[in-house]
């Protein structure tokens, strides 16, 4: 079977063929200008990792690396069936929803003495034990418990085969972000985020890329972020960043697709429209990054170090912070283990 196109090439291929999602040049310029104004702020650096992950252990410990592996392996499908029925986890007086419920639940379990970041434990835990770790404060459980259990135990077994920790596993790839991502996708089946579009095998590798980016963020927070090929990674194609890109005018949905999403229609993983939303988001961020680099070169006469990962690190919280203003733009809903 042919190897799939890598995420960046997949994004370009999809954007060139797309029927329902379009990259808008004016919006790309607008977002690049917005980021140009932020380029000297902490918001566009990797060293803000702890600020972006307030519930993680201190980045100085290798426990933080295993925590990231556990969280990123189960980092998918947090949206509720009904907006009023959010899964909630309260930790230290703050009630979290969405992705942060997972972070809060894992950190809460650590405080309760559950060795949830130890691959020896989580490779063998049963579904009831994981259900207790991920328990919600209300009647709405975290979705896809059985799938989360399956991917976490599978991931734990892989770590045990490669030295018993995420650090020992990932170190096989040296300091190369591309090799790290390829290693993750090759060894851990749940990270193989691939589809077929217009007869071609394509890939997004959202969680694999986040795992590499989080590893980079922790190492950068330690002053050891000298990982090469970070530019090779793309944004992480999910459901929150596309909404922000549409809101900012850099992406546009056809009227038909907009109506489908407003009707709350579930898109299956690999559906043409779902693939177009994710692929065009990747390519849109690549164009924003290229435009930003050009602006910095033209106006400041120097190279720009902002990569697609950092742009994603900015856009995802931006979407969360402005969720009320962008409530009129529907997010797409796909129940799967990839995002």
- pLDDT tens-digit readout, 206-217: 999 999 999 999
The span from the CA of 213 to the CA of 82, in Å, is: 31
Which pLDDT value is given to residue 2? 83
Residues β-bridged to residue 62: none
Which pLDDT value is given to residue 139? 92
* Alpha carbon of residue 328 to chain centroid: 23
Which pLDDT value is given to residue 42? 79
The values of phi and psi at residue 173, to 5°, are -95, 5
Smallest Cα–Cα separation from 74: which of 112, 51, 102, 55? 102
Six token digits for residue 131: 């259900």
The values of phi and psi at residue 216, to 5°, are -60, -45
Six token digits for residue 225: 């972020």
Beta strands 89-91; 21-23: pairing state: unpaired
Smallest Cα–Cα separation from 249: which of 88, 73, 23? 23
Is 214 among the residues known to form the active site?
no
**Strand boundaries in the chain, DSSP class E:** 21-23, 89-91, 94-96, 194-197, 200-203, 251-253
Neighbours of 321 (CB within 10 A): 10
Neighbours of 238 (CB within 10 A): 26
Six token digits for residue 336: 């799967």
The values of phi and psi at residue 328, to 5°, are -75, -10
Which pLDDT value is given to residue 162? 98
Q: Which long-range contacts (CB under 8 A, 24 or more apart) does 288-293 make?
A: 288/28, 288/31, 288/32, 288/35, 288/250, 291/28, 291/29, 291/32, 292/32, 292/35, 292/36, 292/39
Alpha helices in 112-165 (DSSP H): 119-122, 127-133, 145-161
The span from the CA of 116 to the CA of 93, in Å, is: 22
| pLDDT, tens digit (0-9, with 9 covering 90-100), for 231-244 | 999 999 999 999 99
Which pLDDT value is given to residue 117? 98
What global pTM score does this model have? 0.94
Which segments of the chain have a pLDDT < 70? 46-48
Q: Which of 193, 214, 238, 312 is catalytic?
A: 238
Element (H, E) at 142: none
Among left, alpha and beta (phi > 0; psi -120 to 50; other), residue 246 is alpha
Q: Where are the domains of the chain?
A: 7-322
What lies within 8 Å, CB to CB, of 52 at 6+ separation is 217, 313, 317
The span from the CA of 263 to the CA of 199, in Å, is: 29
Which pLDDT value is given to residue 47? 63
């Amino acid at each position: 079977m042919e190897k799939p196109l890598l995420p960046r090439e997949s994004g370009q291929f999809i954007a060139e063929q797309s029927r329902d999602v379009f990259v808008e040049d004016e919006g790309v310029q607008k977002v690049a200008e917005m980021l140009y104004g932020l380029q000297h702020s902490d918001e566009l650096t990797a060293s803000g990792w702890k600020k972006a992950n307030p519930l993680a252990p201190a980045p100085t410990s290798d426990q933080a690396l295993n925590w990231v592996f556990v969280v990123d392996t189960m980092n998918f499908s947090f949206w509720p069936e009904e907006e009023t029925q959010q899964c909630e986890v309260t930790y230290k007086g703050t009630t979290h929803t969405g992705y942060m419920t997972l972070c809060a639940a894992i950190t809460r379990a650590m405080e309760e003495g559950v060795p949830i970041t130890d691959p020896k434990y989580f490779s063998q835990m049963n579904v009831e034990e994981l259900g207790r770790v991920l328990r919600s404060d209300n009647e709405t459980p975290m979705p896809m418990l059985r799938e989360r259990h399956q991917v976490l135990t599978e991931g734990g077994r892989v770590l045990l085969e490669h030295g018993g920790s995420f650090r020992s596993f990932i170190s096989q790839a040296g300091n190369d972000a591309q090799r790290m991502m390829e290693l993750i996708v090759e060894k851990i089946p749940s990270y193989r985020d691939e589809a077929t579009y217009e007869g071609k095998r394509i890939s997004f590798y959202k969680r694999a890329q986040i795992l590499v980016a989080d590893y980079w963020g922790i190492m950068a927070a330690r002053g050891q972020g000298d990982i090469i090929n970070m530019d090779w990674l793309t944004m992480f194609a999910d459901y929150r960043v596309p909404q922000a890109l549409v809101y900012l005018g850099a992406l546009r949905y056809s009227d038909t697709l907009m109506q489908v999403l407003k009707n709350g229609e579930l898109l299956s993983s690999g559906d043409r429209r779902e693939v177009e939303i994710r692929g065009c988001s990747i390519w849109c961020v690549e164009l924003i990054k290229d435009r930003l680099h050009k602006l910095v070169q033209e106006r400041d006469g120097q190279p720009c170090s902002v990569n697609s990962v950092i742009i994603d690190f900015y856009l995802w919280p931006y979407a969360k912070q402005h969720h009320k203003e962008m409530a009129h733009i529907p997010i797409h809903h796909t129940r799967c283990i990839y995002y």
